[in-house]
Amino acid sequence: MDSFVEARQSFLDALAAQEKGDLEHAEGLYRKALALAPERPSVMNNLAAVLCQLEKYGEAKLLCERLMEMNSEDAVVLLNLGNCQLRLNSAEEALVSYEKALEIRPDYADALANRGNALLKMNRPQEALASCDQALTLKPDFAEALHNRAKALRELKRPQEALVSYERALDIRPVSFDALHGLGNALLDLGRYQDAADGYERALAISPDREYVSGMLAWARMHCCDWRGRSEEVGRLVSAIRAGKRSVLPFVALSITDSPQDQLLCSRTWIGDKFPASPAPFRKGARYRRDRIRVAYLSADFREHVMAYCLLGLFETHDRARFETTAVSFGLDVPSETRSRLKGAFSRFVDVQRKSDREVVQLLRDLEIDIAVDLNGFTTDSRTGIFAPRAAPIQINYLGYPGTMGADFIDYIVADRIVIPEQHYPYYSEKVVYLPDTYMVNDSRRIIADRTPARAEAGLPEQGFVFCSFNNGYNINPTIFDVWTRLLAKVEGSVLWLRGGGKDAMRNLRNEAAFRGIAPERLVFALKAEKIEDHLARHRLADLSLDTLPYNAHATTGDALWAGLPVLTCLGTTFAGRVGASLLKAIGLNELITRSLEEYEALATELAMNPKHLTDIKLKLARNRNTSPLFNTDRFRRHIEAAYTTMWERYQRGEPPESFAVEPIDK
């Protein structure tokens, strides 16, 4: 058999293998055909497509570039080249390739759909939506375009419309992992957690080992307090984290493992996956010398949000003679009193919601920002891609994410000696900066409504002890719930007042209570308060707030203490599980910090049974509220400004980041 005939047969066999989904075999056959018939465009193009499917994007890109040298007017090759560039995190280059393909073939639906994906990566969701709609005009039953359209709608915070697009995509292609995964994400956005879990389960049935989906399934179940098979599920996820698998998002890991080492591994896996390139040192020699240090705070939450409530007082009181502050906002611009105050609190307020990461990096460099503070970390709508290429000489992980980011490009984490003991240094990629009192800032000017609602208005009984926990439902787990229901059994007439969640969570928690012998009606769920000051005021109806573990309440504990409600915590083993102790120590209530769940349960019982003891603690809290460091915003401001100054002085001297402690400033 001559080489041409053998190459042709290998090519046909490869096509058949590709059609069956046997990609590795197809790759080998295409390589054989190419060896027998070098520089054959059809073989090279098909091999590039298979390599993309096998996630060998670098090699596929080289093939496409060779093909472009042979024929720069091939729209299909340009499409494949764009796909490779997109997968290699070069969205701008991919956009150029797709647009060149569209110049050649304006009706190329595949290029329009993938152009939408590139625009989405560049944080241009409105244009992405328009591109996908163009593709669908040409090809109404184009499942991939519907999928990309749904992703754009999610970015535009239009989850209900995204859900419709995912459902249409599934009508066309019922066995589609991507569409089912996206469906789960949209349902999660809508707070339909049980339905989201069902979507993730269906996706995993198609592709059991697909990255991060098993973690998202667990996350959805945690939101609706569905604890069936929980210990086995958590065990599998922790094993996957330790094996370096892409199974769990870092924020989810904070609630499923009490090991700081596991949390570091999880963060490093995520960073290695999403930001594999090591950043170059920040513009060598670019040490700006000026009178004021330029600090930029970056967040998606400059709005009616718990982060803003905590930080607003700090932003408003920064020493303008020594610091020039910039807000870099990449969240929704929703008009409100808090948003207005925030806009007036900074030297400069910049809305970058529709700018790409690359554009924001350039903005911060043009502004010659000295210190960039990431207030999101790995929380919702975070933009880690701004920090990865080094937008500023000094980059800090603060407040939003209570754990390590596992990233070489984040220099410091702001903490205190409780949330990060010195023996935990090995579990943090950042250098640790200790503030003297607590790492958490609070606004001492927060308003609490004068009117306290009647118990009946809140659905609470007129008589009886009220245990309270306004933590997120995903932080409630079987272990802590066992303790809570035992308390209800011991304290006659008591109720447990919880944050209202979705109907699935409320039903599941009531069922879990009934299983433990507690009448379901003894669980009372709080409706969402219209105003934060009314939410704070209703804390007065409760007797004792109960913390969760392994993830404590954070700002929620601050809310309770500010409103005069004692909080009982149990000291955990990770940053997220030690925040309650940090806040209680800062307000002088060490007696409410327990070291085991047995001690926690015993103290809760004693406080519920001994009114005088609880009254004494409430009186102490009232005395300490306005005199202790916890709610002294100006004292906190002086300490964090001292931390920024030390960081900047080290950088000016050419010294690398190092852990240090800020000395108390008592004036």
Quick: pLDDT tens for 641-650.
Answer: 999 999 999 9
Three-state SS at 109: helix
More confident residue, 258 or 279: 258
How distant is the alpha carbon of residue 335 from its chain centre? Answer: 24
The pLDDT assigned to 280 comes to 58
- Least confident span in 66-75, 123-132, 150-159, 416-425: 66-75
Average the pLDDT over 5-19 and give the result: 87
Q: Which residues pair with 412 in a beta bridge?
A: 396, 431
Phi, psi of 161 (to 5 degrees): -70, -35
Q: Largest alpha-carbon pair distance within the chain?
A: 98
Give the pLDDT band of residue 287 (cuts 50, 70, 90).
low
Distances (CA, A) of 265 to 239, 270, 406, 563: 11, 9, 8, 38
Tokens of 380: 């919702």
- Three-state secondary structure along 120-135? HHCCCHHHHHHHHHHH
What is the DSSP secondary structure assignment for residue 304, as one 8-state letter?
Answer: S
Write down all domains in the chain, each with its CATH number in brackets: 293-434 (3.40.50.11380), 455-631 (3.40.50.2000)
**Cβ atoms of residues 85 and 58 within 8 Å:** no
The pLDDT assigned to 284 comes to 46
User: Please, which residues have CB within 8 angstroms of residue 634's CB and are 6 or more apart in sequence?
Assistant: 317, 444
- Condensed to tens digits (0 to 9), the pLDDT of residues 583-630 reads 999 999 999 999 999 999 999 999 999 999 999 999 999 999 999 999
The pLDDT assigned to 645 comes to 98
**Cβ atoms of residues 442 and 313 within 8 Å:** yes
Three-state SS at 233: helix
Give dist(CA 388, CA 409) in Å, integer: 6
Looking at every residue in the chain, the average pLDDT score rounds to: 95
The pLDDT assigned to 43 comes to 86
- Condensed to tens digits (0 to 9), the pLDDT of residues 14-40 reads 889 888 888 899 999 899 888 888 888
Give the pLDDT band of residue 281 (cuts 50, 70, 90).
low
Percent of the chain residues past pLDDT 90, beyond the cut: 87
- Condensed to tens digits (0 to 9), the pLDDT of residues 312-369 reads 999 999 999 999 999 999 999 999 999 999 999 999 999 999 999 999 999 999 999 9
Three-state SS at 569: strand
| Residue 283: pLDDT over 90 | no
Taking the whole predicted model, whether its pTM rises above 0.85 is answered as yes
Distances (CA, A) of 256 to 403, 550, 559, 576: 13, 8, 25, 11
| Residue 285: pLDDT over 50 | no
- Condensed to tens digits (0 to 9), the pLDDT of residues 161-217 reads 999 999 999 999 999 999 999 999 999 999 999 999 999 999 999 999 999 999 999
Average the pLDDT over 496-503 and give the result: 93
Average the pLDDT over 60-71 and give the result: 89
